[in-house]
Amino acid sequence: MARKKRDMSDKRNPSRTIKIHNRDELLRRAVDERSGKKRTDKNNSDKSSRRSEIRDQVYSRRPSQRSTRPAETETAGKKSRKRSKKDGSVRNNRAPKLQGFFLPPKDENGASGVSRVKREERRSTAAAAVIVALVLFIVMVFYAVNFSIKYMQRKVVANDTVTYGSIESAKVCTGVIVRDEVVYNAPASGEAVFNVADNDKVKANTTICTVQDTAAVASLQEDLNEINEKILEMQKTRESVSAVTDEVKRYNAQIKTSADNYAFRLVGGDITTLYSMKSDLQKMMDNRNQRLLSENSGSLSGLAQQRATQQEAISNSQNAVVTNDAGVVSCYSDGLESKYTVDTMGELTEKDTNVSNAGSVLDKMVSEGAPLFKIVRSNDWYIVSYIPNTLIENWTVGDKVSIYIHGQTDSERKLEMQVASLVTGDKTTLAVLRSTKYLVDFISTRSVSFETSKVMNGYKIPNNAIVEQTMLKVSSDFVRDNKVYKKTGEDTLTEMDVVPAGSSAEENMTYIPFDINRLNVGDTLALPEDKNKTFTINDVVTAKGVFVMNTGIAEFTKINPENAAANANYTVLDPAVNPNIKLYDRIVTDTRNIEKQQKLIE
């Protein structure tokens, strides 16, 4: 019965017969044998015999040591095994196969040796964890301090973001128009008969008009007309013998042909030719009659002499006015031509620029010394105005700016003008704007009101972000993927990275920032696939632009001020003509110490 009980216990714990090689597992098994399993030993001698049994099993792996054991130890071991058979702790007369070491004895406090080892292992693991945590903490503190020092010492670059916005219209300014003009006065009293039309361009030494005594000339002209009629009547009776018969026939044929052509066009419903028909036919008939009246032969010699005498009398009653200057004729005058001149416009006061348009068209009936007409001798004309400083802070001499001129009927006209001069005062600036277009449109105007900008939507950027840079003009054919190939020898090319600031599709040119140490005027570029095809850099251009810092590097980007509007703080660019600028670009606003390709962000 006892044997069956032992066999059942072995089935319940089959691990007793498993060969154990792991030290930790062996310790756990040993502890289970000593304390975890119910034992039948009832005295301390049985415990001692159990330890002896374990030692025997250990020494059974080490025969050299077992052979040296004392005889009494072997005898004690045999006795212990016999007793173990009685309590069922050993099956088949064999001890459990615990191999490889001695079970650690209890310490002086009675604690298990296994527990002491585990406590030491836990202490070692905890100490290692503390050391690792301390090292990690020190490393993190080092990096945090290093980052803080770099952050405090970093260069702070002021920047802004390109947004889509608008600016309000500027204040309305007033000014005066100045032209290079000279007035011609009447040499005598009488009626001015003009040979040219108003606003016509004339050459020097051209007779512009004739001033005549109307009453005397009218009487003389009446007598002349009678003489002319007599000559024409006589020409009809002597048509076959007239010296000018053939010429007169040609004139008559031309008159008939021209009249037929005009009649055909009128029948077709084109009545716009009615006035030109009258003028053309009258001119042809006058030419024919003048040829008939000019004959001075035969029976016409007496009438021809009378006609010449009468014409001389009329001429003596007339005073021709000949211009000494080439330019545009204008019959408008305001009497201020001598005050507002090109030579003195820089000396005008603010009061001088606030005048009204008080001029008028000159009368045809004039007295001696009265103005007849004026000649504007140059296409250059100017607007002089005192403008508040805050409205034109970004203007410089030579700039092309847009102004918006107010008309008399609330109409508005945009003009592109060039800044000719600026004289800055405490609150206002004496600005002189120059134009070479639309002279005739403003030839009869003296005072103007205008705005320096209008409400406009576009890319809104701060004025202090706009700078001027000198750039090289390079053919776009020689710029490949932001690279150029500089010819440094007969067959040697050096590849260079470049950052184009913009380009012109019309000129097929790319603008590259000037860099005297790398790329300069006079350098020759070539194509890598064809070294014989070259381009020599000869042209430079100064253009306005901004430093874009999207990549952390200051890259100069050209801007186009066409159609732009500005006030004291911001400029709004037209997106249609500024493809180089993108929405949300980061641009440098403090450009005082910024250089091209400078690294801005560490």
CATH assignment at residue 412: 2.40.30
- Looking at residue 245, its pLDDT comes to 61
> Could you tell me if 448 and 357 are in contact, meaning their C-beta atoms sit under 8 angstroms apart?
no
Is residue 600, in this structure, part of any structural domain at all?
Answer: no
| Residues 95/98/102/106 CA torsion (nearest 10 deg) | -80
| Residues 306/311/313/319 CA torsion (nearest 10 deg) | -170
Instruction: State the total domains in the chain.
Output: 5
Is residue 165, in this structure, part of any structural domain at all?
Answer: no
Between 560 and 242, the more confident residue is 560
Is residue 595, in this structure, part of any structural domain at all?
Answer: no
Tokens of 96: 């459990």
Is residue 167, in this structure, part of any structural domain at all?
Answer: no
Question: Based on the number of CB atoms within 10 Å of its own CB, is 396 exposed (0-12), middle (13-18) or buried (19 or more)?
Answer: exposed
Same domain assignment for residues 277 and 313:
yes
Same domain assignment for residues 120 and 88:
no
**pLDDT tens figures, 430-457:** 999 999 999 999 998 999 999 887 777 8
The band of 365, judged by pLDDT with boundaries at 50, 70 and 90, is: confident
Distance CA 388, CA 51 (A): 111
Same domain assignment for residues 261 and 369:
no
The band of 407, judged by pLDDT with boundaries at 50, 70 and 90, is: confident
Is residue 49, in this structure, part of any structural domain at all?
Answer: yes
Is residue 598, in this structure, part of any structural domain at all?
Answer: no
SS3 category, 438: coil
Same domain assignment for residues 199 and 318:
yes
Q: What percent of the chain has pLDDT over 70?
A: 62
> Could you tell me if 387 and 170 are in contact, meaning their C-beta atoms sit under 8 angstroms apart?
no
The band of 175, judged by pLDDT with boundaries at 50, 70 and 90, is: very high
Distance CA 41, CA 89 (A): 10
Between 419 and 566, the more confident residue is 419
Of 462, 448, 450, the closest CA to residue 169 belongs to: 450
SS3 category, 38: coil
Same domain assignment for residues 294 and 200:
yes
Last residue in a domain, options 430, 452, 474: 452
Same domain assignment for residues 417 and 494:
no
Any idea how long the chain is? 602
Q: Which amino acid is at 442?
A: F
Question: Based on the number of CB atoms within 10 Å of its own CB, is 88 exposed (0-12), middle (13-18) or buried (19 or more)?
Answer: middle
Order of all β-strands in the sheet with 456-462: 163-167, 456-462, 570-573, 565-566
**pLDDT above 80: residue 45:** no
Same domain assignment for residues 316 and 333:
no
Distance CA 373, CA 330 (A): 6
The residue with tokens 């005594």 is 213
Domain span at 398: 172-179+329-452
- Looking at residue 356, its pLDDT comes to 82
- Looking at residue 178, its pLDDT comes to 95
Same domain assignment for residues 234 and 319:
yes
Is residue 502, in this structure, part of any structural domain at all?
Answer: yes
- Looking at residue 481, its pLDDT comes to 86
Give the least confident one: 14-28, 75-89, 236-250, 329-343: 75-89
Last residue in a domain, options 407, 433, 452: 452
Count the helices and strands in the chain (H runs, E runs). 10, 29
Same domain assignment for residues 318 and 212:
yes
| Residues 271/276/280/286 CA torsion (nearest 10 deg) | 110
- Looking at residue 293, its pLDDT comes to 53
Same domain assignment for residues 337 and 411:
yes
Tokens of 320: 């021709």
C-alpha atoms less than 13 angstroms from C-alpha of 511 in its C-beta half-sphere: 22
Is residue 594, in this structure, part of any structural domain at all?
Answer: no
Same domain assignment for residues 96 and 119:
no
- Looking at residue 375, its pLDDT comes to 94
Between 122 and 405, the more confident residue is 405
Mean pLDDT within 246-256:
70
Same domain assignment for residues 216 and 312:
yes
- Looking at residue 219, its pLDDT comes to 66
- Looking at residue 142, its pLDDT comes to 87
Last residue in a domain, options 405, 433, 452: 452
- Looking at residue 90, its pLDDT comes to 43
**pLDDT tens figures, 382-406:** 999 999 988 888 889 999 998 988 8
